[in-house]
Structure 1
Amino acid sequence: MPSPASVPAHGPSARPGYRAVLRAPHAGRTFAAALLGRLSYGVVPLALLLAVRDATGSYSAAGAATALFGLASVALSPVRAALVDRHGPRRALPPMAVLYTALLLAAAAATARPGTAPAVLAALVVAAGACTPPLGPVMRTLWRRLLPDPALLRRAFSLDAVAEELLFVSGPLLVGVLLPFVGPAGAVVAGAALLLTGALLLVASPLAAAPGGGAAAASGDRRARRAGRLGGGRALRCAVLAAAATGLALGALDLMVVAFAEQQGRPAAVGWVLAALSAGSAVGGLGLGALDRPLPNAVRLPLFTAGLGLALAAAGLAPNLLLLGAAVALAGLFVSPALTTAYLVADEAVAPDARTRAGAWVNTAFNAGSAAGGAGVGLLVGHLPPPLCFALAAAPALAAAPVLRTRDFGDAGSRRKSDPAPDAAA
């Protein structure tokens, strides 16, 4: 018998919402474990930055170490996701989590001794970044196994995107709470412990042993995997492009808000302006998931990407911080919906045994775009007027929107024949 979560709702009186998503078999415990582990992603970068700074007395060394950690984590994310697709979460995640934890503990111990060579610290943090478990892509793959119904899957992906964004906001706040008690090195240890605990709880869930992970759906899929091909065609490329454009816009926005607030003589206002972005993103993401009959993915992806670009360009015309905050909140309305749609497109574009890797490529594109956006606008702020900086930051999203227009992405109106049956995931 199919699980309740896999049965589509019919009629205006039967509209399964977010509660139905979390009440699906094992969904609540699995999602909570994934979120616990992913909280580490918001804790570790800042904790490492502060710990390396204390150990070396150099902000440049701290910044370089943190950048290398992020680069190793982002660049190798598809490789780690491929291991999960090939071997399944229960075999692939624990070794990654243990190595990640051990290397972070070694880095924390090294930073606890002032005078440690920056090269030693850099080697440890790069190695740790290379082992970062892809808990986000794994969780989205598990959502697909559990919720083959398109409406419920969209709600799950929306909830996942909003929760992940909130984790990246709460992670630095947790570091601030921990610092007076355990110091930066202790905060690194706490971040490592969060990841290890969350990953082990995740693989202990019955969902992590559901059929479909690590086993080829057909001999053709096995041959493609051996050849290193991901597949997905134009749909996957569009999902990656949309994520990269969104990352570029957001990476640039953070620094531009800082510059604008300083120009207005109110640097402390940066926090609430960026909080408006997160609030708008949460509203937009939850709103998308609550819709009963949203536009197809092929329409939503360019629409949300263009909306983000237009709102960002309009933010550059704000004469004061109040209106800037309103414009940034408007831009936020498109962030989670754009990323949620990109993940859905990528998930549907590839074979079931490649979904973790496809999601990792979308995640990698967003993170790489964010880093590039911050670096690029850093060269422009102070040399160009703010409206022009905002317009240039919006340009990638606006330029990507026409490219993303296509007649069909193969929306998730019907499951792939190779997907597990609904009751198999339960």
Structure 2
Amino acid sequence: MSHPTDVVVTGLGATTPLGGDVRSTWAAALAGESGARRFENDWVEKHGLPVEFAAMLKVKAEDVLTRPELKRMDPSAQYAIIAAREAWADAGSPEVDGDRLGTVVSSGIGGIITTLDSWDTMHEKGARRVLPMTVPMLMPNSPVAYVSLEFGARAGAHALVSACASGAEAIGYAVDMIRAGRADIVIAGGSEATIHPMPIGAFAASRTLSLRNDDPEHASRPYDVDRDGFVIGEGSGIVVLESAEHAAARGARVYARIAGLGLSADGYHITSPEPSGDGQIRAMRSALKDSGIAAEEIVHVNAHATSTVVGDLIEARSIRGVLGDDADHVALSATKSMTGHLLGGAGALETIFTVLALHDRLAPPTINVETPDPELVLDLVRDTPRALPGGEIAAINNSFGFGGHNVALVVTSV
């Protein structure tokens, strides 16, 4: 399928467990570094947490933002603002009519830290001590609201919530906004801040987190036979998208093109993926159809691959089911092995990784895979980056979420 409006990526921004910006994050990913580390507080002893580590931001928000910004924003919004400012500057801080500028920034969980801290304040000190900015801080559209205010974006401010697929779906919605003529430029991505005892305890109770407390850096191990769950992470990834025509008119540098979007729902279970991978397959096939890209043109896949026992192989079989024999020449990367799982921010950060993989012709590595699962039917990039072919190439970024949300994006080189 061809679209009258091509959508290109002109700006990238991030703050992650690997670095405080895109450049340092990407360098750390190519170097195979892990962002996981033990908590430096009393949470484990105080709350009896069974998990003693997470993938926390490499550069703290308080080292970047002003004190007033920190006081009026939940961390989920803080991270989004940091990433959005970098992405906008990276795009050349384009001059654009606010009526033609949109924002789509999602969070899978929203302002959970503000919610929990405010309840503690009310419980311990009474209602009069609850901050008047509490509701604007905790609402799940807070990150996109602050981004839209920051840049005067009036074409729309949207916050799609689809659990761990939220960041990728936000980028897909931004593509649709530009294709539909609603905006010339859209700032899009995801942000998450859930490093707090309650969410960690809740994820641990659902048996989705790794319990490798003695070795956090090697805990996230997608496709390894000894994988035992994901490592919770935090951070934000933001991209600046615009119509190819608009980008060309202002002489913008273009990283890649977001060529296709595929969405589906499992309709199966609130947390478990549908065993046959039918929903994931439908999402990828839809993305390929939407992009007009053939299976043989796909050279790289950034997998959702969280390091759960069941989920990793369902996705691997789904990729093989979509690409068939063409999967044999695909370089598969599972970057959550390094970043941990950023939940609502994951799909956006991994879109950035996919864009840079095509731009730099390097597929990032998957670390910690000591014994690959014998049922893995794909060519996994392990430990060191792998060169990608020259010419026009394409990649898929997969993002899936609790509730059966499936999002696939097709990215092409320029």
TM-score (norm: length of structure 1): 0.30
Q: Whose strand proportion is higher, 1 or 2? A: 2
TM-score (norm: length of structure 2): 0.30
Larger-Rg structure: 1
